[in-house]
Amino acid sequence: MSAQRQETVRRLAAPDITDRKGKTPIVCLTAYTAPMAALLDEACDLLLVGDSVGMVIHGLPNTVGVTMEMMILHGQAVMRGSRRAMVVVDMPFGSYEGSAQEAYANAARLMKETGAQAVKVESGPTVAETIDYMVKRGIPVMGHVGLRPQAVLVDGGFRAKGRGEAERTRILDEARATAQAGAFAVVIEGVAEGLAREITEAVNVPTIGIGASAGCDGQILVTDDMLGLFDWTPKFVRRYADLRGEILRAVETYAADVQARRFPGPAEIYFPKAG
């Protein structure tokens, strides 16, 4: 047995999140890197390695171009940086829609190579069968209904969903099918409060809202949005900091110091050893 003291912190897992249905709201944020995961770990129940990483970190126009390799690399980093929060990795576009068997193989690869506790899929009309197949074979799955970023090319943009009666009914049915298929939680994105509350009442697993009101069982935001790292913020985001302003001010000051030879100063240089 190792002489080192064993870490006693237990990482949260899918059943812990499911147990929170209707209780204290579940705190979730996205994370893509080890240092950010370390900063978020204590306050968050769940860290999502979202495929938003493609837009936030890699400068892609949408999430369609995100690959398995990108998700694995960022999933590994977030696992290294965190120790308490449950880590969920998004299955990228094209990795789960073809067949349940292909989805299972890709989900198993994501979990083996990252060590994450679950995967997330966007729950289109045909995905419930795939969720059922994966859950029965040991993969905890989180669903995602409403605005589905991976469908942006079909939908023609990122717009709030469920405003008309037919779409409202379809989203409610997809959420029900996702929960019945065995998902441990369901993200609801970009829908009005009434629909978010109806889904939350209709399903027996927690709903995690993003642009879906406080009527959900938990909330998630893209961390970089809530920290104010971009000059534009979506309507549903509250900016808890202005890191973009802080960074711009810091870089401006650094540039001025370098140009005026104020940096480095005596405290920031090496001297020969005395004697």
* Residues labelled catalytic: 189
Neighbours of 253 (CB within 10 A): 12
* CB of 81 closer than 8 Å to CB of 34: yes
Per rule CB under 6 A, is residue 220 in the interface with ligand KIV? yes
Per rule CB under 6 A, is residue 223 in the interface with ligand KIV? no
- Minimum separation from the CB atom of position 223 to ligand KIV (A): 9
Task: Mark the segment that binds ligand KIV (CB under 6 A) among 35-43, 45-53, 69-77, 96-104.
Answer: 45-53
Per rule CB under 6 A, is residue 51 in the interface with ligand KIV? yes
Spatial separation of the C-alpha atoms in residues 114 and 194, rounded to whole Å: 37
Spatial separation of the C-alpha atoms in residues 78 and 69, rounded to whole Å: 14
- Minimum separation from the CB atom of position 177 to ligand KIV (A): 19
Site for ligand KIV, residues 92 to 131, rule: CB under 6 A = none
Site for ligand KIV, residues 68 to 97, rule: CB under 6 A = 90
In the structure encoding, which two tokens stand for residue 106, read together? Answer: 């890709």
Task: Mark the segment that binds ligand KIV (CB under 6 A) among 49-57, 156-164, 168-176, 236-244.
Answer: 49-57
In the structure encoding, which two tokens stand for residue 199, read together? Answer: 């889904």
Site for ligand KIV, residues 229 to 268, rule: CB under 6 A = none
Size of the residue set binding ligand KIV (CB under 6 A)? 12
Spatial separation of the C-alpha atoms in residues 84 and 75, rounded to whole Å: 15
Nearest to 43 by CA among 262, 223, 224, 251: 223
Per rule CB under 6 A, is residue 181 in the interface with ligand KIV? no
Q: What is the dihedral of CA 10, 131, 115, 31, to 10 degrees?
A: -80
Among 52, 178, 207, 223, binds ligand KIV (CB under 6 A): 52
Spatial separation of the C-alpha atoms in residues 131 and 177, rounded to whole Å: 10
Q: Which residues contribute to the site for ligand KIV (CB under 6 A)?
A: 30, 48, 50-52, 90, 144, 187, 189, 210, 220, 222
